[in-house]
Structure formats: structure tokens, C-alpha cells
Amino acid sequence: MIVGGDKIAAVAKDAQPPQGAPHIKVDGIILPGFIDLHNHLTWNVFPRWRPTQKFSSRYEWQATPEYDQALRIPQGRMMANGLGCKANLFAEVKALAGGATSIAGSLIGQMDPERTCVVGLVRNLDHSSGFAKAPSQPACAGEAPTIPAAVANEVFPMEAKFERLNWLRCELQQGTLRGLLVHLAEGKPNDATARREFRMLQGQGLLQPGLVIIHGTALTVEDFVAMRDKSGLVWSPRSNDELYGGGPNIGAALAVGVNVAIAPDWSPTGSAGMIPEINYAAARHYAVRPKQYVAMASSAPAQMVRLDDRIGTLAPGKIADLLVIRSRGGAPYETVVTATPADILLVAVDGTPLYGDPVIMSALLPGKKLEELTVCGEKKMLFLESALPDGSWDAVRGQLEAELKRYGSSLGPIECS
């Protein structure tokens, strides 16, 4: 593979780099960078939360004292004390360590689009992705705030004002907004209240291409049929199991033709990153083949948010968001779904190596400042020049650890599984 600037120039075994261009041979599987459409970045500093019960819906666990004590109160204090940027950076490094090059769910970006601390590492699709939203059509003028990114993210869509939903629907229909992520129908698989949200969404006229439903654990086959050729589904199996005792009927969704992506949700009840989330699902023998899991992490999410002309596959002219996983001699797709973060040799965004094996990173970035971290017992290197021109990764971690200790919490690890 040859990369020229931020684009893929060639994909072929016999491709020859230009004379004098830096190049390196890797014993690995080259993949498009994984696309995480469902995360909550500033919560990923926390250790795992293990609830003492299963819940009927997200509204139930969000009202419990144990959630307040373990997560909501410490997270609120952290944000109030100005640590949001450092928390976001920590979470982006965690995402890189799991193989992601694009992500959605930066709370800081949603609260203040002018903040610049979320532009440095992974591609924040709902904020500073490098993919700007096309100019609004006159028909879509309204009171809704301007969304600068090509993808919008609504965690509580049923609470949004009518003017905002009307604007989002119009922008989605016109194609000026590539994708709209909505958290919906989240609860036990048989929870009628959670499923009702889907009917409400249909009533708002939002069920159309570019709409992506996150969770959808309470959806039925009838709902999946209604979604076909219109809306995609993001599946977060580990978090669904931890909170509700099960998730959506993925076999049924795939059988009727719904496009399905996989994503980790957040570290407290989900996985630390994309590779661990795929591991979790693959080990539980869902009706999904290894090749499908790779698609669920790359081409499927790109198609859902209508950015497949830029990311999600390896082809000349596409953005050079790349992931390299160590080859272990077996079938490539099975190797990927059984890999751990230790097996990640390289992650590059816009053609720039950001994370990976020390030998590879040093060869690709000679003379650059690289920072060391240990993941799954193996040394890895980070290139943080764009996100952290001053300071260090160790200093960021140290401040987060000290502050979270003050709140009665602790800094969660970059987990191996």
C-alpha cells in the first residue's frame, strides 16, 4: 500500500513507493481504520461499573444512587473543574489503542463547538472530523444551532425541541447533513416503553437514509423491516448485556437487510475499544461471521453516515485512516476478531502514524517526539504533536489520576479485554 499525503495512493501487493519515500515492511493485516459510532468519551476515564441488577431501560439506571456515586457525580465534578479536555484526550488514546480512527460522542464538542481540544487525534465525526457539513439549503433555515460537522449526535432525541428536530430532518433529507445518530429504544429486549420511542421517531418523519439508531435493544422484526434501506443500527453487545441482560436480535436485523455496525458504548459497562468489543461479541457466538464483524467496524458505519466515499474501505483516493494488526498465520478475518490491543501494530489518521509498535513508529516518524505507554503488557508509542504540543502523556494521566482520587474514583485502565 502507498500513502500520499492524507490519501491512499495505491493498494496492491506489487505497488512501489516513490524513490526516496519512507517505507516499512510490516508482518500484519492492513485494514481501514475502525469507525466507532457510539461512545461517550469523557466518561472513559472511569473504571468498570458493575451494577447490582439488570434494568428495564436507560432511564432506570440513570436514576439510581449507585450510578450517581460511581459515575455521574465524579464526572460532573471533573467537567466543572476544567478537566474535560484532558479526559477527552485520554479517551481518544484509548480509542486508538482499540483500533479506532473515527469516533462519535465528544461531549465537549456538543457543548461548545468552538473548543479545539478534540481535534488532535481520532476523527471526531460529530465535531471536528475534517468533514464539514455542506451549506444548509434555504428550505432548512430554522432556529436550530448550526452543526459544523457532517454528522450530528443526539443522545436524547425525544427531548429535543421541535425546531431542532425539524431542522435535523430537513438537513438529513437534503443531504447537507450526512448522518444523524440517535440513542433510541434502549432497554430490555421486551421493554414496551423503550420500543415506543421508535414509533415516536417514525411520527417525527426521521426514519430516512442517514439516520442511525444506537442500541435499539427493544426493537422487533417488524421495526427492522421498517428500517430496511433507510436506517442503520449500532450494536453495543457488552454494555447491553451488563445493563439489560441482552441486546437487539442481531440475527433478525441482518436477515431482513438492516445495516449493522458494532461499537463499545463507553468504558464503564462496555469495552475499552473497538477490538475488545469485537472480541466480546465473537466469543459469544452470535450469528455473525468474522468477515461481517470487520465490516461492522469499517464499511458498514461509513455507509450508515454516508461517508463511505471517504472512509471505511481501502481504495485509491480514500482518506488514509489505517489499522495494521499483527498476522498470526491464520485466516485474516479470524485473526482480526481474536486479536487484542497488543496485536495492533499501527494506527494512522490522515496518513499520519499516531499509535503503534515502537519499531514501526520510530521508523515512520524519525526524529519526532514519541511517548511510551504499555497496553496488554506490551510497549506502544504515541505521537501527540497535534493534540499535545506542550506537556506529556504521563502528565495528563497523572493529573487525571490525582483529580479522580479526590472525587472518590480512580483512572480506569486501557483494558486488554
* pLDDT tens readout for residues 371-380: 999 999 999 9
Is 135 or 313 the better-scoring residue by pLDDT?
313
User: Per-residue DSSP letters for 185-238?
Assistant: S-B-TT-HHHHHHHHHHHHTT--STTEEEEE-TT--HHHHHHHTTT-EEEE-HH
Distance CA 285, CA 303 (A): 25
Cβ neighbors of 80 (< 8 A, separation 6 or more) are none
Is 214 within a domain?
A: yes
Task: Kindly report, residue by residue over 251-260, the tens digit of the pLDDT.
Answer: 999 999 999 9
Mean of per-residue pLDDT scores for the chain? 91
Is 366 within a domain?
A: no
pLDDT band (50, 70, 90) for residue 264: very high
Is 340 within a domain?
A: no
Instruction: Provide mean pLDDT across the span 225-243.
Output: 95
The number of domains in the chain is 1
Is 192 or 136 the better-scoring residue by pLDDT?
192
Q: Are strands 322-326 and 344-349 parallel, antiparallel or unpaired?
A: antiparallel
Distance CA 351, CA 250 (A): 34
CA angle 6, 8, 12 (to 5 degrees): 155
| CATH number for the domain harbouring residue 120 | 3.20.20.140
Distance CA 176, CA 137 (A): 8
Is 1 within a domain?
A: no
* Position 113 pLDDT exceeds 60: no
Is 18 within a domain?
A: no
Is 131 within a domain?
A: yes
* pLDDT confidence of residue 285: 74
Least confident of 8-22, 197-211, 275-289, 345-359: 8-22
Least confident of 66-70, 137-141, 346-350: 137-141
Is 95 within a domain?
A: yes
* pLDDT confidence of residue 145: 60
Provide the domain limits for residue 307: 34-312+391-406
Least confident of 71-75, 326-330, 357-361: 326-330
Task: Kindly report, residue by residue over 153-177, the tens digit of the pLDDT.
Answer: 999 998 988 888 888 999 999 998 9
* pLDDT confidence of residue 138: 78
Is 349 within a domain?
A: no
Instruction: Provide mean pLDDT across the span 325-334.
Output: 91
Instruction: Provide mean pLDDT across the span 29-48.
Output: 97
Residue 139 has what DSSP assignment?
G
* pLDDT confidence of residue 115: 64
Instruction: Provide mean pLDDT across the span 34-40.
Output: 98
Task: Kindly report, residue by residue over 397-415, the tens digit of the pLDDT.
Answer: 999 999 999 999 999 988 8
291 and 276 in contact (C-beta within 8 Å)? no
Q: Which percentage of the chain shows pLDDT scores above 90?
A: 74
pLDDT band (50, 70, 90) for residue 112: low
